[in-house]
Structure 1
Amino acid sequence: MNAALALTRHAARVVWTACALALHAVPAAASPEALRFVTKQFPPYAYTDASGQAAGPMVDVLKAVCSRAAWQCHVEVLPWRRAYQRIEAGEADGIFPFVNTPERRQQYVMSPNVVQGRYVLIGKPGGPGREQGQPPSGRTIAAFGPSEASRTLASVVRQHPGTRAHIEADPSAVVRKLLAGRYGQDGLGLVNEAVARWQLAATPPGSLQTVEVVREFNYGFALLRRPGHEALARQMTEAIQALCRSGEIRRRLEPYGLQAADCASSAAALQPASRLPRRP
């Protein structure tokens, strides 16, 4: 009897030991990836709502991406220069809205394109040289910068000698000063068409008119190049592709009058850092 009891107790110890080892062998559930994104006050794309929270269609799309990838994402709306400073100091993981350019791919891993847009020249109707397609030579053109808009303006100035560029630090200043005639009677603004439309919503119709479409572009999200972010960018690409194919991105953008980017363009979204010539 004693021998049988000892054998039973030994067997029980073996079972408990095996269970304990099995529990240790099961990996703990990984905690969700916590990512910090910065953006700017840039309606209709992104802005701060009445409760002080980040809002807008690109914020909504990002939240959908983070939910699909099982990430915990925090979005902070800042002045654009401060947003740049925050991410360049490594104090944020991602930034948007961003246009995918070779220069930016040196520092960031870019997402697939999410929303289409256009840069246009706008001015007051009825002034000299305001006819559709009239070259902007000899006039002052204002743009917000530093930004993709100001870089586009630099290209316009190179193509039209005598044109004067004026860069505004406040993204709302270009439309406001155009309405006030601050750039001269024939002054123009190079603006994001959707942003200008949003800013002009409270003004009388026809206060400013489109003079010329300068270029089309696409916005997406950018992750700072750092260890581990290449893998996260692949997850982001997969999530955006799925949301695009399902029509979810289009449904989130349409109420704001924005057009979703072509889903096919996301196939080539994950591009390596471009090789640019070194600056002297």
Structure 2
Amino acid sequence: MRRRTLLGSAPLWAASAQAQQEELLLVNAPYPPFVLEARDPIGEGLDVDIARAALARAGYSVRLALVPWRRALQMLEAGEADLTTTISLSGERERFLLFSEGYRSTVRYHFYSRRGSGLRVERLEDLAQVSLGYSAGFFYPPAIKQAVGRGLVEGRDLEVTVRMLNAGRSDLIVVNHLAGLWTIRRLGLEAQLERQPFSYSSGSPTYMALSRKRHGDGRLLNTLNEGLRALVKDGTLARLEARYLPP
């Protein structure tokens, strides 16, 4: 998916007084279950709810705009939006983004093939024998892409990537383990696709990020981090995860 130690933070009561019910624009692309399509009966998505709960404690409201992921990054760079969620840390992005503290400690990547394909991927080196589908604009550990021997196939988004696999346009796809399973189930493709035994864990946490152009003074970042810590402490984060990610 997407670490930083902060040197200090303003008290939440002070941030709340400054916020005065200010509305923040959160931009992201659909990435279930973290960000869901508009009017999804479950809600706007796990990470959208986490951001809203963390910032509401300081008096901020959050409005979600769904746009393609590359457009979301462009809006943040230009100062046209305030924040995003579900993002991986990278040096290039630090140029125009301020990253929160990590709120998920690791990301697991799973690999799916068409059922009955005869493929068996048990280690990273086995990727040398396949073409691999992935979703545009999202971070994948370099070791995965570098191991692929028969070419990379880019999908516009996760749903397209899964459909391309089912149509035979790639041998295999790599997905965030939660987002991938959610999407496959929603598309009704559990019988057609199967998960390979190999999985890859990245030690990189998942972050939220603020536009440097709009919030470069760090005050909103401090507020966001305090809110995220509070959600962990009072159990709100666990309750939100249980709602979107039942056993």
**Partner Cα separation in structure 2 for residue 225 and residue 144 of structure 1:** 26
Q: CA deviation at 1:171?
A: 2.4
The answer to whether the Cα contact below 8 Å between 2:113 and 2:119 also exists between their aligned partners in 1 is no
TM-score by length of 1: 0.71
What does residue 232 of structure 1 align with?
220
Q: 1:138 aligns with which of 124, 129, 137?
A: 129
Code of the residue aligned with 2:168 in structure 1: it is G
Partner of 2:107: 117
Q: TM-score, normalised on structure 2?
A: 0.79
Q: 5+ residue gaps in structure 1?
A: 1-28, 260-280
Q: Is the 8 A contact 1:123 1:130 kept in 2?
A: no
Separation of aligned partners in 2, 1:53 and 1:85: 28
Listed as ranges, the gaps of 5+ residues in structure 2 are 1-16
- Structure 1 residues 80, 53: CA separation in 2 closer, same or farther (over 3 Å shift)? farther
Give identity over the alignment, percent. Answer: 24
Change (3 A) 1:53 1:223: farther
- 1:101 aligned residue: 90
Q: Could you report, residue by residue, the CA deviation over 1:217-271 in whole angstroms, capped at 9, with x for unpaired residues?
A: 4322100113554111011111111111211111101222289xxxxxxxxxxxx
Q: Is the 8 A contact 1:108 1:223 kept in 2?
A: yes
Q: What is the DSSP-based 3-state SS (H/G/I as helix, E as strand, rest coil) of the residue aligned with 1:114?
A: coil
Tell me: higher relative CO, structure 1 or 2? Use CA pairs within 8 A at least 6 residues apart.
Answer: 2
Distance in 2, Cα, partners of 1:258 & 1:87: 32
What is the aligned counterpart of 2:245 among 257, 270, 275?
A: 257
Query: 2: CA distance between counterparts of 1:77 and 1:53?
Result: 16
How far residue 215 of structure 1 moved from its aligned partner, in angstroms, is 2.6
Larger Rg: 1
1:209 aligns with 2:195: yes
How many residues end up aligned between the 2 structures?
224
Measured after TM superposition, the shift of residue 124 of structure 1 is 2.3
1:6 alignment partner in structure 2: none
Distance (Å, rounded) in 1 between the aligned partners of 2:175 and 2:163: 12
The aligned counterpart of 1:167 is: 154
